[in-house]
Amino acid sequence: MPRFRLPLGARRRASPRSPQKGREGKAPFWIYGRHAVAAALQNPKRRWRELLVVEGHEREAEALLSAAKAVRAGEGAPLRSLSRSGLAALLSPDAVHQGLALQVEPLPEPSLEELLRASEKGAGKRVVILLDRVQDPQNVGAVLRSAAAFGAAAVVLPAHGAPVAAGALAKAASGALEYVPLIRAGNLARALELLKKAGFWVCGLDEGAPELFSASAFSDRIALVFGSEGEGMRRLVREGCDRLARLPTRPGFPTLNVANAAAVALYELMRCEGAACGEEGAALARPCDGVDSSQPG
């Protein structure tokens, strides 16, 4: 692939643009941070428009573009060099961009039905995570990162009120957005019914549950449900669980952040795989969209 180079005099300050909609009718958005940008450019299913880089780091950006597997969908120069303040002006005030920002189009989002049909063809453990009332993009991104690390098949969110798969979410996911499908369901209670019909045991994690969470209590198809720290799961979602369980935290401090709770539960499921977890869990890694699971997140 030819190297992208900035022509002389091409460094200029960026100005906000009216984004043009992509092939699915959705406007492009920014992904920022080194891991998130690098993973997006390595995803053959990702379509990108433009890469922005802080002045002085053009070589790093050119190397990323030279190795890119993602599809270029934009017009004009693929790479722009900006001052640090110029880049910050295009992003949210609290964005930790690490000198890189990539304008991308949304990934195609599979439906839960499509995911379940695909899961019928594979053997071994299948884990799906459902997040109810979890709206903080950094929490969702951190859950995605744990899902990628421990081989979960997907993360499911309610379609209403869920954060956009960009910005802070993509940064917290640290590249996992390219590995794990993020599915938006119109009704989480209905999603639980579909999972049960597909042979999944549904476990809701609740700090007040009398039963301790144990991987040995489940089959190879498991759906883990997490609610928000404040309000927990909604009633219909809670009632849709086959069982409720709690993590073995100390009684004096039973509450965990939802992202930490998801990481602990996923680790327990992976640990109990025994020999199937050989080579540090490589047997469980099933990245989506053609991204090599050997790459660090």
Residue with tokens 């492009």: 28
Long-range CB contacts (within 8 A, 24+) of 279-287: 281/149, 281/150, 281/151, 283/124, 283/151, 284/124, 284/125, 284/150, 284/151, 285/148, 285/151, 286/122, 286/151, 286/153, 287/148, 287/178, 287/179, 287/180
Q: Is the full-model pTM beyond 0.85?
A: no
- Going from N- to C-terminal start, the domains of the chain cover 29-104, 112-284
pLDDT by residue for the chain (297 residues), tens only, comes to: 334 343 333 333 344 444 454 444 467 899 999 999 999 999 999 999 999 999 999 999 999 999 999 999 988 899 999 999 999 888 987 889 999 999 999 998 889 999 999 877 766 789 999 999 999 999 999 999 999 999 999 999 999 888 889 899 999 999 999 999 999 999 999 999 999 999 999 999 998 899 999 877 777 899 999 998 778 899 999 999 999 999 988 887 877 899 999 999 999 988 876 534 444 333 333 333 333 333 333
Residues 6 or more apart whose CB falls under 8 angstroms from that of 277 comprise 270, 271, 283, 284
Q: Which CATH number fits domain 29-104: 3.30.1380, 3.40.630, 2.40.10, 3.30.1330?
A: 3.30.1330
Both tokens assigned to 9: 């005099």
Q: Which CATH number fits domain 112-284: 3.90.600.10, 3.40.1280.10, 3.30.70.3270, 1.10.10.1800?
A: 3.40.1280.10
